[in-house]
Structure 1
Amino acid sequence: MATSSVKFLGQLGWRLIRVQKSRTDAFLAVAQKGSLRGLCRAYGTSGSSVTAKLSRVVQRSNTRVLGGCAFLLGGGIGLYQTFKLSVHQTHLSEDETPMQESDSETKLTLYQYKTCPECSKLRAFLDYYGIPYETVEVSPVTRQEIKWSEYKKVPVLMIEGKETLVRANNYTHILKQINNAQLNDSSVIISAMKTCMIDKSKSLPEVISYYPRLTSTNIFGREVTEFTNRYWVMLNEIAIELIYPSKNARKQEVRWRQWADDWLVNLISPNVYRSPAEALASYDHIVRQGKFGPVEGVLAKYMGAVSMFFISKLLKIWYRLQDDVRQDLYSAVDEFITAIGRRRKFMGGDRPNLADLAVYGVLRAMEGLQAFDDVMERTKVKKWYLAMEKATREHHGQE
């Protein structure tokens, strides 16, 4: 976890050192007012429940341990913030060849970190439905490639053109009436594009308005952004009955998409940075896959690995994970596979739905790392994962 996680955890560690035990409740009352995406939401919880979790952590944990972690993090955090590494820089080792069509008047460009789970999730969606796009790797140090955007996070999907893609499938109409549009937040992009795929009477600009952006300032003075309805495909009752076998199927899709963002993603960092060796291997992978200069790469690899190793220990306390955090990851993956059941190939039935694509995108972000190999070996996910890999690679959504 990078910039936002580092700032939050670093300041939290120092506050725990400086604030007397008798003032802990007051601090938590202030923290409850913050809106911290990711860190203030866990599986099935809200911001208030996370604050309650933090209260129990503070009461049960040895304050000296947190203080020591904060002290060790001091130097690493400073360098880490200098590099401005993104919270989404986990891990991906796929060989990706962007799909292009030279005769198309419309161009989709995805600004990304290749190792970002959110970016991987969006690529999985675009690949599954066979929507052509190009990728631009963003430098996590300067972020020069997206300085033109007010939205300083990845992924950013830029759509440039006049009419529509020259491609004979049912989904090209979603790009009509688009001219130099910038789309943000992977879950919103997926929900909006899927809505247009089903309801051909709506244009993408119209549908995007169904997901208004809400901004607020957290307790550390940093602006945070949320999008309402981000997991919902916005359809009328007739379309819902035609597309989903039951209303419960639609709710299940929404639930597991949110679960992937609120819980599964948050298990990645504690697992890929579980030990010093794994942390170093993870950052070596990030540097090789990302856009770093020679000096930046060396510093990011070693200082980033040190920082994230200690941060992963704070995340372990924050999310109340087991001593062996791998067990929580195994349990989460098996929980998803159990929910699919034996009678279905995917969560969506015979074909993947948006929940399948979201979970697949997140897990794919760990490819090439020990945590990914362990999950494939120790859980029931491998058969489903290979089926998702094939469906995405061969663009089965076009059918």
Structure 2
Amino acid sequence: MAAVCVRSLGQVGRHALLRQGCKTGNVSIPAARISLQGGVRAYGTGGTGFRSKLFSAAPLRGGGRTLGCAFLLGGGIGLYQTIKFTFTRHFAEQDTDTPVTGPKLTLYQYKTCPFCSKVRAFLDYHGLPYEIVEVNPVMRQEIKWSKYRKVPILMVDETVQLNDSSVIISTLKTVLVSKGKTVSEILLCYPEMKSTNDSGKEILEYNNKYWLMLGESEEQQLYPEKDLRKEEMTWRKWADDWLVHLISPNVYRTPAESLASFDYIVREGKFGTFEGFFAKYVGAFAMFIISKRLKARHNLQDDVRQDLYKAVNDWVSAIGKKRKFMGGEQPNLADLAVFGVLRVMEGLESFDDMMENTKVKNWYRRMEKAIQQHEGQN
């Protein structure tokens, strides 16, 4: 590399060699070692060597020697400064092209949780690197440090905690689209709100969690058509308030399906030996019973598959035949949410039935490809 710089400055010569190297970060910067002894070749227009006509004249005495030394010293210093400037400019340009390292993201999750799957779908689609901490669903020791005892939890640089899957996604998307806003600043726009549900249980909700905090120009860039933002918010909410409630009644529909589901949960989750055995058999029976209560609570049909089929076909109809995704050519946040919820059924009978008996397959496969290839990275 340095040899190219020297040649571009006028063929410094054989003795301007690069051998020693020093490291800055992951970049190896060679240091020039330049010899000014003997018959060094010319690097200007002085003919065949550094000893041009000035040095080919009769030997100089006294002050002449001083003048010669001064010339050598001045030339050496000038050469050094020129090469130094070239290196400095080169690596300054190189630093400009180096991508900025993003914040450290750590996701605390259950792998089979649909809300956690939503967050993973978002992170993977946008190519955001993150670490996973699988939480033991029985003891939950991995999140004992948190007052918020649910998953997913996303930690940003080990200092900022994001709770609730939709808040996590809205916050990160706002950061990606907006200019100069930090996670902490945006998080203030999603305040916690305590309320009581129909059963009298206190629940924690978040205001504005389906809303992105964008400026006018940013909003126009992300939602070029008038109703796209409203449509995205509507279907994100639908995924949380309706679609997710169809998962348990379907994957625990029969004793056999319930056992198969818990076999998958135990294999993919973080359980001890005894906990795994207990969860697989006792949990499978318990969830089979609970799924019947969930069916009644959400007014589902006796054959809960029909509710799943209808919901999925409603989603496909909302996308329409002219769009690849609800977001158009690329998935939007509603696409990622619905995909994340449905993905937790993969490998189970309910998933196979859904793919065979609905129109969702083509959209689902396109989503798989987009997420695997991190198509939202740019």
Considering the TM-score relative to the shorter chain, is it more than 0.5? yes
1:266 to 245, 249, 269: 245
Amino acid across the alignment from 1:209 = L
Report 1:161-176 matches (<5 A).
none
1:391 to 364, 370, 377: 370
Amino acid across the alignment from 1:147 = K
Q: Percent of counterpart pairs with the same letter?
A: 63
The whole-number CA distance in structure 1 between the counterparts of 2:313 and 2:198 is 36
The whole-number CA distance in structure 1 between the counterparts of 2:140 and 2:301 is 36
Relative to 1, partners in 2 of residues 1:300 and 1:389: Cα closer, same or farther, differing over 3 Å? same
1:366 aligns with 2:345: yes
**Residue aligned with 1:396, SS:** coil
Deviation at 1:208, TM superposition (A): 0.6
Structure 1 unaligned runs (5+)? 1-102, 161-178
The whole-number CA distance in structure 2 between the counterparts of 1:221 and 1:151 is 20
Report 1:210-225 matches (<5 A).
210-217=189-196, 222-225=201-204
The whole-number CA distance in structure 2 between the counterparts of 1:389 and 1:105 is 24
1:252 aligns with 2:231: yes
Amino acid across the alignment from 1:151 = Y
User: Do the aligned partners of 1:156 and 1:184 also contact (CA within 8 Å) in 2?
Assistant: yes
Amino acid across the alignment from 1:142 = M
Amino acid across the alignment from 2:314 = E
1:347 aligns with 2:332: no
User: Do the aligned partners of 1:139 and 1:291 also contact (CA within 8 Å) in 2?
Assistant: yes
**Residue aligned with 1:157, SS:** strand
The whole-number CA distance in structure 2 between the counterparts of 1:317 and 1:219 is 15
2:316 to 321, 325, 337: 337
| Structure with greater strand percent | 2
1:232 aligns with 2:211: yes
Report 1:21-60 matches (<5 A).
none
Structure 2 unaligned runs (5+)? 1-99
2:170 to 191, 205, 208: 191
The whole-number CA distance in structure 2 between the counterparts of 1:261 and 1:300 is 26
Deviation at 1:240, TM superposition (A): 1.9
**CA deviations over 1:90-133 (Å, ceiling 9, x no partner):** xxxxxxxxxxxxx9584211110011101100000000000000
The whole-number CA distance in structure 2 between the counterparts of 1:397 and 1:244 is 15
2:132 to 132, 135, 148: 135
Match of 2:32 in 1: none
User: Do the aligned partners of 1:192 and 1:207 also contact (CA within 8 Å) in 2?
Assistant: yes
The whole-number CA distance in structure 2 between the counterparts of 1:373 and 1:310 is 23
Deviation at 1:300, TM superposition (A): 0.9
Q: Which has the higher Rg, Structure 1 or Structure 2?
A: 2
Match of 1:144 in 2: 141
1:307 to 259, 283, 286: 286
The whole-number CA distance in structure 1 between the counterparts of 2:304 and 2:315 is 17
Match of 1:74 in 2: none
1:126 aligns with 2:123: yes
1:283 aligns with 2:280: no
The whole-number CA distance in structure 1 between the counterparts of 2:221 and 2:203 is 37
Match of 1:115 in 2: 112
* Greater displacement, 255-264 / 307-316: 307-316
User: Do the aligned partners of 1:240 and 1:247 also contact (CA within 8 Å) in 2?
Assistant: no
The whole-number CA distance in structure 2 between the counterparts of 1:259 and 1:273 is 22
**Residue aligned with 2:376, SS:** helix
Q: TM-score, normalised by structure 1?
A: 0.68
Relative to 1, partners in 2 of residues 1:237 and 1:105: Cα closer, same or farther, differing over 3 Å? closer
User: Do the aligned partners of 1:334 and 1:381 also contact (CA within 8 Å) in 2?
Assistant: yes
Q: TM-score, normalised by structure 2?
A: 0.71
RMSD: 1.6
The whole-number CA distance in structure 2 between the counterparts of 1:307 and 1:204 is 40
Relative to 1, partners in 2 of residues 1:308 and 1:181: Cα closer, same or farther, differing over 3 Å? same
**CA deviations over 1:234-266 (Å, ceiling 9, x no partner):** 223332222212231100000000000000000
Deviation at 1:233, TM superposition (A): 1.0
The whole-number CA distance in structure 1 between the counterparts of 2:104 and 2:176 is 18
